[in-house]
Each structure stands twice: as C-alpha cells, then as structure tokens.
C-alpha cells in the first residue's frame, strides 16, 4: 500500500455535475478501504454559479497546484445563463492545454443488449476504446471571419496536426492495443483532407515497432457506418480531435446513452483529468434523476490510471453487474431510480463484493 494518501482534485461544476460527483465520491469511499487505499480530496469551486455571483473564473495559476495532485475529477460544466463556451474554456480547455492532456480516452462497452438502440447486438460485440487526440485539429482556434454579416462573408478555421502530436497519440494507441485484442484502426478523412495523410504516414512508419498489433485505416464516414452495423470489428480506434468528438458520442449512444459514458484526459505519467462525457444537462438539473453511471465509471478510470487497479476493477464490475442484471435498468433519466439511489446501489455492490470476493 502507498504510504502517502493520494491527493485527488474535484471540480463538481454545474447543473447535474455536483449530483453525479457526490455519487462518484460515495462509490470511491466504498472502494478505497477495501483496496487499502487512502486519499484526500481537494475541492475546487469553479462553476458558472461562481462566475455569475462573483465574476470569478478559474485562474491559470491553479494549474501549478494541479501539477502537485495525483489526479483530477470533473463533474460537468455549462449553464444556459452564461455565454456558451466561457466557463468550458476557462476550466476544461485551460486544464487540457495547460497540463498538455493530449489523449482523450473513451471506452465504449455494452453491458446489456437491452441498453443499446442497435438490433441483434450482444454485449460481446461492443467492446472498443476510442483514443482521440486532444490538443490539436480545429480546436486550436486558428481562423476567423472576414466581411462579417455581408453576402461576401468568409469564415475560416485551420485544422492543425503536428508530427509530435500525431506520433505521441499513435504510440499511446499502439500500446493500448497491445494490452487488449491487438487491433488498431486509424480513422481519418485523408482522401478529402490531404493534411490528414500525416496520420497514415506516421502510422506506417512506427507500426513495425509494434509487431504484435494489427492495423488498418478507415475513413470517418465508413467508421461511423461500421460502428452501427458491425461494432465488433473495432478494438482500439485512434483518431483526430474533431472526428473523435463525434464518434465518441456515437459510441456513447451505442452503449446506452450519454449518462453512462466516461472519459479520461491524459498525459500519460502525469496528472490527468477524468470526467463523465455528458454535459451539465440543464434540462434535468436539480431533479435528482441524472444517472451517475458515467461519473462513477470515470472514477473507476481515475483509479486505474493512478495504479489502484483493484479498486477500479471492483467499481467496474459493480456497474456492469447492476446494468447487466437490469437492477439499474438504464443509464439515463428514465431508469425509475434517483441519482442517489443508483450511487448507493453501486457503493453497496462494491462493499458486498468485498465481503464475499467469490
């Protein structure tokens, strides 16, 4: 057991963020003693409410403090009363870029055939991980508009890929594939967007260093189709920031909806951030019906990342057991259970597992 307690930063955020974060922490509190791990939570107040009340946004100096932590957990950000993007840029984008979290990792796993909108698909058909590049592409913000508001208006956004950014993402994906079913699919649109050919060239160049991993490359339109018609063909998908953004929401839909999906923003070996993939869901905020499954799964990813595999696996198995048995019928607002009830059920399942490990 590690001598020092882990130091985990927590940003509950807006809307349903604080509700699902409470449940993720409840489950962490159940798993930690079983796995013999100690931790300390450092809570940060960054949210739209704080911005509206006091005009305070997360200062960039907070990054220095984050670098001393073992990991960060984020609930959700965004509030219809604040201009779209303000709070997300101040917190999420600042952390992603400031800590150089160049991998966005999104597992897509189906726990029960009843959860997916796809026909004739079994849980064993859907088990993939999307590795999305997280710092480049159109998200670098290069571009602008000319002759705004006139019939001659021009709007431009540059898609940026660096050899360094592409290579480190591909290497991470190769290593991940080597630890799974050893199949890596590169998804791009290199036929129409010539700049994306850098991905194919780099893949071909470094592939010989990973002889155990089989690779293929696919255009994003075909990948979207196959995710729906034949998801079993995917193990690890590696893709650009923009395509990853879109494909991972499709992945979430396939696994049963936004409420159940989790992600990690990683800089392997350094402090990284974990979050459910859903937003603040203003339509259901305060109603107590948000599913905490995505947040709890993000906590499991966090634990796995910091090396607490036992705690991570227990949480993963508990979530899987509750969803596959139907005791938690869905990971959306229509499960008939409250946010708190689902969190408590997962925590209880973890404790029971510990009491009877077989």
What x-and-dash track marks residues 305-344 binding ligand ATP by CB under 6 A?
---------------------------xx-----------
**Between 231 and 294, CB nearer to ligand ATP:** 294
Q: Which H or E run contains 8?
A: strand 6-13
Q: Rounded to the nearest 5 degrees, what angle is found at the Cα of 8, between the Cα atoms of 131 and 260?
A: 45
* CA distances for 286 relative to 12, 81, 283, angstroms: 14, 16, 9
Would you count residue 284 as binding ligand ATP (CB under 6 A)? yes
Residues 243-282 that bind ligand ATP (CB under 6 A): 258-259, 278-281
SS3 163: helix
Tokens of 327: 């005791």
Active site residues: 139, 189, 221, 245, 249
Residues 6+ apart with CB under 8 A from 261: 106, 108, 248, 251, 252, 255, 276, 277, 278, 294, 297, 331
**Between 254 and 258, CB nearer to ligand ATP:** 258
What x-and-dash track marks residues 76-95 binding ligand ATP by CB under 6 A?
--x-----------------
Q: Which stretch binds ligand ATP (CB under 6 A): 150-158, 168-176, 283-291, 318-326?
A: 283-291
Residues 6+ apart with CB under 8 A from 319: 111, 293, 296, 297, 300, 346
Would you count residue 99 as binding ligand ATP (CB under 6 A)? no
DSSP state at residue 129: E
Closest residue to ligand ATP, based on beta-carbon distance: 279
Residues 177-236 that bind ligand ATP (CB under 6 A): none
Smallest distance from the beta carbon of 15 to ligand ATP, in angstroms? 7
Q: How far is the C-alpha of 156 from the C-alpha of 4, rounded, in Å? A: 50
Binding site for ligand ATP (CB under 6 A): 16, 20, 78, 258-259, 278-281, 283-284, 290-291, 294, 332-333
């Amino acid at each position: 057991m590690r001598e020092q307690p882990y130091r985990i930063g927590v940003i509950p955020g807006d809307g349903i963020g604080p509700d699902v974060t409470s449940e993720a922490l409840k489950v962490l509190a159940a798993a930690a003693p079983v796995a013999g791990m100690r931790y300390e939570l450092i809570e940060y107040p960054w949210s739209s409410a704080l911005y509206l009340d006091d005009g305070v946004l997360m200062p960039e100096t907070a990054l220095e403090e984050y670098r001393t932590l073992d990991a960060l957990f984020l609930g959700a950000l965004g509030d219809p009363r604040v201009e779209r993007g303000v709070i997300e840029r101040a917190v999420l984008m600042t952390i992603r870029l400031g800590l150089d979290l160049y991998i966005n990792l999104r597992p897509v796993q189906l726990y029960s055939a009843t959860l997916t909108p796809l026909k004739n698909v079994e849980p064993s058909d859907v088990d993939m991980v999307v590795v999305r590049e997280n710092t480049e592409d159109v998200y670098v913000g290069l571009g602008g508009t000319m002759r705004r508001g006139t019939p001659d208006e021009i709007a431009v956004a540059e898609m940026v890929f660096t050899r360094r950014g592409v290579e480190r993402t591909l290497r991470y994906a190769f290593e991940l594939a080597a630890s799974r079913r050893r199949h890596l699919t590169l998804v791009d649109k290199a036929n129409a967007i010539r700049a994306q050919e850098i991905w194919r060239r780099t893949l071909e160049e470094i592939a010989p260093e990973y002889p155990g991993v089989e690779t293929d490359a696919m255009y994003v339109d075909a990948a979207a189709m196959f995710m729906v018609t034949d998801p079993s063909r995917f193990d690890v998908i590696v893709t650009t920031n923009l395509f990853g953004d879109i494909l991972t929401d499709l992945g979430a839909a396939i696994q049963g909806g936004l409420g159940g999906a989790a992600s990690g923003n990683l800089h392997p070996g350094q402090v990284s951030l974990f979050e459910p993939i859903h937003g603040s869901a203003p339509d259901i905020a305060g109603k107590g019906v948000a599913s905490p499954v995505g947040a709890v799964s993000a906590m499991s990813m966090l634990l796995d990342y910091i090396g607490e595999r036992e705690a991570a696996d227990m949480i993963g198995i508990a979530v899987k057991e509750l969803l596959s048995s139907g005791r938690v019928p869905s990971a959306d607002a229509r499960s008939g259970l409250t946010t708190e009830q689902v969190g408590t059920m997962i925590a209880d399942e973890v404790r029971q597992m510990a009491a009877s490990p077989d």
